């Protein structure tokens, strides 16, 4: 029991023996106990999404033997990148399970007509992504209702909206900190890849298809890679282009803390999260076209949000002015956090952990919502 305990401690602790236990010992042990799935287990439901690298369906189990977990599931049929996505989900499952949607199983399905596909199975977390919720006229009150289960009878207004946005931001940063502490950079953080988990009443990250695990060099710098231009940080590569191409796994494992400190690849996700913060504060920036226009404006201001504010504020619409007003509450603490996230230079951006300790998050008013977490 002691040996098993020690092994599982090593296995689950980020920063210890990266990748080694995963690959050899416990993957085998786990095989013996874990519920597995195969193609015939699933009945396909509604299509939830379709990208360049796969299709996502809501599915249910054909029959429900007692050994298999019941309930709604999500299936992604993925192309060649599916292998990496399975790897990332397995890592997350062990090291920071609460950060992401609950992953159940992944396997290679070779009997399909289209050739080999990777099938990935998650628990169905809920109907709405942050993108869906943000596009509602009711945002952020619709989120408050979901987090609290019922709508509070409090006066609506900036202060209350600010508290809801604070809560969402804290949940996002908390999930992101879990990933980053595990050595994973997501690289595709955007509202469409954040799901509201109805079970835990929190936001979780999904879609690790573009993620990189820097501790073992998996998907280190892919040659061909499509980033979502709406949310990407100015630096195109998460690691300096001078870093040699992916070293072999053991070398990468030894080097990665050093490389991480040199390149701060996690700051790439922080920039994207900063843009989500911006969209939550400014309804006018929630549409794709307006976000793209914002990115153009920002570039014209040498990627300096403070300069951007100076150019737009004097002739701002009431809607835009209201966003600034919200970020300016409590001596501008929200604006301060936002600017520390969307800096041009990755090195000058805050980390997820540092952002969580930012005074923006320790305002009294937060208590109304924070006890739910």
Closer to ligand ADP by Cβ: residue 85 or 161: 85
Closer to ligand ADP by Cβ: residue 74 or 143: 74
Under the criterion CB under 6 A, does residue 332 sit at the interface with ligand ADP? no
Decide which of Mg ion, ligand ADP, none touches 11; Cβ closer than 5 to 8 Å per partner kind.
none
Site for Mg ion in 168-227 (CB under 5 A): 193, 207
Decide which of ligand ADP, Mg ion, none touches 48; Cβ closer than 5 to 8 Å per partner kind.
ligand ADP
Torsion (CA) 327, 329, 331, 337 in degrees, nearest 10 = -30
58 Cβ contact list (under 8 Å, min separation 6): 45, 46, 48, 72, 73, 74, 75, 124
Phi-psi region of 358 (alpha: psi -120 to 50; beta: other; left: phi over 0): beta
Site string for ligand ADP, 162-201 (x = CB under 6 A): ------------------------------xx-x------
Kind of pairing between the strands at 202-205 and 73-78: unpaired
Give the Cβ contact number of residue 355 at 10 Å: 25
Q: Tokens for 106? A: 């992944």
Under the criterion CB under 6 A, does residue 333 sit at the interface with ligand ADP? no
Site for ligand ADP in 283-322 (CB under 6 A): none
Under the criterion CB under 6 A, does residue 97 sit at the interface with ligand ADP? no
Round to whole Å and give the CA distance between 197 and 195. Answer: 6
202 Cβ contact list (under 8 Å, min separation 6): 98, 147, 171, 196, 373
Residue nearest Mg ion, CB atom distance: 207
Closer to ligand ADP by Cβ: residue 142 or 162: 142
Under the criterion CB under 5 A, does residue 351 sit at the interface with Mg ion? no
Under the criterion CB under 6 A, does residue 122 sit at the interface with ligand ADP? yes
Under the criterion CB under 5 A, does residue 99 sit at the interface with Mg ion? no
133 Cβ contact list (under 8 Å, min separation 6): 139, 142, 143, 146, 196
- The H or E element that residue 59 is part of is strand 54-61
For ligand ADP, which stretch binds (CB under 6 A), given 46-54, 232-240, 284-292, 304-312?
46-54
Residue 183 CB, shortest distance to Mg ion, in Å, is: 21
Q: Which of 22, 102, 188, 213 is catalytic?
A: 188
Round to whole Å and give the CA distance between 156 and 141. Answer: 9
Tell me, yes or no, if 188 is annotated catalytic: yes
Round to whole Å and give the CA distance between 189 and 273. Answer: 7
Q: Could you list the residues that contact Mg ion (CB under 5 A)?
A: 193, 207
Q: Could you list the residues that contact ligand ADP (CB under 6 A)?
A: 48-51, 54, 56, 74, 76, 101, 122, 124-126, 129, 192-193, 195, 206-207, 209
* Positions marked active-site: 188
């Amino acid at each position: 029991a002691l040996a098993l305990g020690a092994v599982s401690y090593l296995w689950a602790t980020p920063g210890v023996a990266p990748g080694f236990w995963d690959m050899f010992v416990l993957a085998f042990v786990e095989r013996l106990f874990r519920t597995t799935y195969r193609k015939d287990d699933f009945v396909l439901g509604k299509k939830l999404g379709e990208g360049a690298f796969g299709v996502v369906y809501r599915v249910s189990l054909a029959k429900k033997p007692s050994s298999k977990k019941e309930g709604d599931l999500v299936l992604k049929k993925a192309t060649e990148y599916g292998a990496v996505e399975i790897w990332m989900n397995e890592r997350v499952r062990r090291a920071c399970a609460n950060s992401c949607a609950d992953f159940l199983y992944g396997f290679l399905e070779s009997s399909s007509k289209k050739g080999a596909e990777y099938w990935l199975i998650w628990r169905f977390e809920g109907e709405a992504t942050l993108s869906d919720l943000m596009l509602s006229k009711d945002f952020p009150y619709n989120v408050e209702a979901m987090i609290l289960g019922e709508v509070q009878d409090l006066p609506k207004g900036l202060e209350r909206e600010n508290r809801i946005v604070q809560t969402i931001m804290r949940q996002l940063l908390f999930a992101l900190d879990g990933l980053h502490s595990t050595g994973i950079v997501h690289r595709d953080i955007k509202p469409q890849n954040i799901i509201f988990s109805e079970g835990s009443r929190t936001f979780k990250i999904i879609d690790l298809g573009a993620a990189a695990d820097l501790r073992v060099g998996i998907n280190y710098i892919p040659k061909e890679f499509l980033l979502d231009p709406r949310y990407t940080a100015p630096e195109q590569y998460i690691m300096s282009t001078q870093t040699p191409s992916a070293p072999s796994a053991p070398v990468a494992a030894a080097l990665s803390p050093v490389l991480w400190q040199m390149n701060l690849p996690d700051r790439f996700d922080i920039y994207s999260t900063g843009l989500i913060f911006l969209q939550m504060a400014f309804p006018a920036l929630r549409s794709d076209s307006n976000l793209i226009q914002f990115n153009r404006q920002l570039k014209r201001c040498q990627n300096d949000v403070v300069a951007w504010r100076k150019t737009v504020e004097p002739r701002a619409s009431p809607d835009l002015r209201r966003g600034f007003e919200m970020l300016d509450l409590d001596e501008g603490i929200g604006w301060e956090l936002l600017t520390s996230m969307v800096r041009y230079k990755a090195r000058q951006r805050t980390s997820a952990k540092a952002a969580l300790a930012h005074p923006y998050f320790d305002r009294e008013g937060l208590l109304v919502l924070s006890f739910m977490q």
